[in-house]
Structure 1
Amino acid sequence: MDTNGVDKVSTKKNGFHKGPMELYLVRISPACRAVWLYVIQNELPHLLLDVDFSKGPNHLPPVFRNHPHQEVPLLVDGDVVVFEATAILRYLSMKYTSSAGFGMSLPNQMLCESVISWSFGELLRSVGYTYVFPQFLESYSFSPESANEVVIEKGLRQVTTHLEILENKYLEKSKYLAGNKLTVSDSCAASVLVLLEWTGFSFKMWPKVESWLSKVKQQMFWDEVHTTHTDFVRELERANLVQR
C-alpha cells in the first residue's frame, strides 16, 4: 500500500474509509495506470492499494465483497464508490480538479471524454484482449492453438485499423487527440497502445502516431506509473519473447 499525501486513515467495518480517497488497482492494467496518473499529476491525496485477484474472492479487500462488480480500477472516496476508469476520471475532474486535463472548451472536453471511452472500450478490446493478451496470458488464450492464431490475426487487423484512424484522422492536423494540447485522452489511449510493446510492435508505418506516443510518454510521472509495465516488457525481452 502506498500512501500519498496521507498521514492517517481510519477504516470502517463496511470497507469504506474516513479521509483521503482509496484507489484500488492492478498496476499492469492500462485503465488503472491512466487513473493513477491523473491522481498523482493533480496532487490528490490518496491511498494506492494493489489488488490480487488470483487468490480468489475471499481474499479481496472488504469493499469488493460488498460491491457487485469485482473489478479495477475502483475508487472509494468516503461513502462514494466509483468503478470503471471513465467514470472515475469524470468524477475526479468534476469534484476535485475543475476538469483539469480535459481541455478548455466544451467541444474539446466532450471529444476528450469520447476518446477516453473509446480507449478503454473498442481500442482496449482490440489491442489487449484480441491481439496482445492471447499471445502471453493463458487465461485469455483460446484452444486449440489454431483458434488462438485466428483471434490474434483478427486482433492485428483491428489494431492496424485503429492506428490508421489515429494517423489519418486525429493526428492529421492536430498534435494530440483532442486538439493541440495534451489531455487525459492522450494518456488513456497511450496507456492502451503501449501494450503493443509486449510484442515488439513497430509504429514506423504510422509516423504521426509514433511521434505522438513519444511525446505523451514524456509527461510527468509517466515512467513512475508504468514501472510495472516496463519491467514486464524487459522480462519478456530477457526471455527472448519480444522481437525488436
Structure 2
Amino acid sequence: MPDFYFASMSPPCRAAHLVAKAVGVDLNLKPLDLSKGEQNDPDFVAINPQHCVPTLVDGDLTLWESRAICTYLASQYGKSDSFYPRDPKTRARVDRLLYFDMGTLYDRFGKYAYPVLFGGERPDPAKLEKLHEALGWLDDLLAGSSWAVGDRFTVADCVLVASVSSFEAGGIDLGSYGRITTWLEKCKTSLPGYEEVSAQGLAIFGGFAREKLSK
C-alpha cells in the first residue's frame, strides 16, 4: 500500500487522492498539518528534500509533483487504459489539460489568491481578470464532450475538478461558464470518492479563503 503524505485543503493533494480512488488503489494516508510546519519535520525532509505535498512512497519509488503522481497511479494501477489513454493523440489531449491546469489555470489562481491568503495583500482585480480569462478557455475546451476529454472521465477530470472546486469554495464566480458548471456538478456526483476526498479540505479552504478574497 503506497504511503501518501498530504494536506486535505491542498487542491493538488486532492487531485492525486481522487486518482487513487478512481483506479481503486488504497493509500496509507499520512496527513501533514502545514500550519504547524509538519512538512519541515526532519523525518519528512529525509523522504522529500523539497518538503512539499503531495508526496507518494510506493516501494522503492518516492515521487512528488502532484500531476506526476496522478499519471503514475493511473499507469501503475489502472485496470484499463480509459482513465489515462495509451492512444498517443488521446493521451496528448489529457496531458494538455494537466499542463494547462499547472501552468495556466491553477497558476493564475495562485497568483491571485495566495498573496491575499498568505501575504496579507488586497485582492488584485487585474489578476482576477486573468483567472477569468483562463476559466473562459477551459469553458471552451469542454465543448463537445461529456467529460474533459471524450465521453469517459480521465485523470484530467480529477486534476481539473480539484482546482475548480477550490475556486468555487473560495468564492470565485463561475456563473458565466455554463459548460464548467455542468461539468463540475457531474464530477461531484460521478467521480469515485469525490465527497470523501473533497468535503473536509474544501470546507477548510473555503472557511478562510472566501472572506479574504471578497474584500
Using structure 1 for the length normalisation, give the TM-score. Answer: 0.76
1:78-113 CA distances to partner (integer Å, 9 max, x unpaired)?
A: 121011011112222222225451236331122112
8 Å CA contact 1:24, 1:73 repeated in 2: yes
Q: Classify 1:37/1:158 alpha carbon distance in 2 versus 1 (closer, same or farther; 3 Å).
A: same
What residue is the counterpart of 1:95 in the other structure? 76
| Cα distance between partner residues in 1 of 2:206 and 2:48 | 35
| Cα distance between partner residues in 1 of 2:172 and 2:35 | 28
8 Å CA contact 1:130, 1:154 repeated in 2: no
What residue is the counterpart of 1:180 in the other structure? 151
1:115-153 CA distances to partner (integer Å, 9 max, x unpaired)?
A: 1122133211112x2223334x2x2444xxxxx44xx31
Which of 164, 182, 203 aligns to 1:211? It is: 182
Using structure 2 for the length normalisation, give the TM-score. Answer: 0.85
Is 1:21 matched up with 2:2? yes
Which of 103, 111, 130 aligns to 2:93? It is: 111
Amino acid across the alignment from 2:62:
V
Return structure 1 stretches of 4+ with deviation > 4 angstroms: 239-243
1:156-176 CA distances to partner (integer Å, 9 max, x unpaired)?
A: 1111111211222x1222222
Is 1:155 matched up with 2:127? yes
| Cα distance between partner residues in 2 of 1:172 and 1:197 | 20
User: Offset of 1:229 from its aligned partner?
Assistant: 2.9
Q: How does 1:36-47 map to 2 (within 5 A)?
A: 36-47=17-28
Determine helix, strand or coil for the equivalent of 2:53.
coil
Structure with more relative contact order (C-alpha pairs < 8 Å, separation 6 or more): 2
Structure having the higher helix fraction is: 2
What residue is the counterpart of 1:4 in the other structure? none
User: Offset of 1:187 from its aligned partner?
Assistant: 1.8
Unaligned ranges ≥5, structure 1: 1-19, 143-147
Amino acid across the alignment from 1:126:
R
After superposition, the CA RMSD in angstroms is 2.6
Identity rate, percent:
24
Amino acid across the alignment from 1:65:
A
What residue is the counterpart of 1:124 in the other structure? 106
8 Å CA contact 2:14, 2:162 repeated in 1: yes
8 Å CA contact 2:5, 2:30 repeated in 1: yes
Task: State the number of aligned residues.
Answer: 212
8 Å CA contact 2:94, 2:156 repeated in 1: yes
Unaligned ranges ≥5, structure 2: none
